[in-house]
Amino acid sequence: MIHAILASTSTLHNQDYLEYLIPHLPRLYKNVSEVLFIPYARPGGISHAEYTAKAAAAFSKAGINIKGINEFDDPEKAVREAEGIFTGGGNTFLLVSELYRNKVMNVIKEVVKAGTPYMGTSAGTNIGGLSMQTTNDMPIVYPPSFQTLGLVPFNINPHYLDPNPNSEHKGETRETRIKEFHSLNSQPVIGLREGSWLEIGDNKVTLKGTLKARLFKKDQVPFEVETGTDLTDLN
Q: What are phi and psi of 130, to 5 degrees?
A: -70, -35
Catalytic residue among 10, 122, 131, 196: 122
Residue 33 catalytic? no
Residue 159 catalytic? yes
Alpha helices in the chain (DSSP H): 25-28, 48-60, 75-81, 92-101, 105-113, 123-126, 174-182
By DSSP bridging, strand 4-7 and strand 197-201 are antiparallel
103 CB burial (10 A radius; 0-12, 13-18, 19+): exposed
Catalytic residue among 8, 10, 131, 137: 137
Q: Quick count: other Cβ atoms within 10 Å of Cβ 159?
A: 18
Beta bridge partners of 230: 206
DSSP 73-94: S-HHHHHHH-S-EEE--S-HHH
Residue 73 catalytic? no
Q: Which of 86, 154, 73, 161 is nearest to 123 (CA)?
A: 86
Catalytic residue among 8, 131, 159, 182: 159
DSSP 230: B
- Give the residue numbers annotated as catalytic, written as ranges: 122, 137, 159
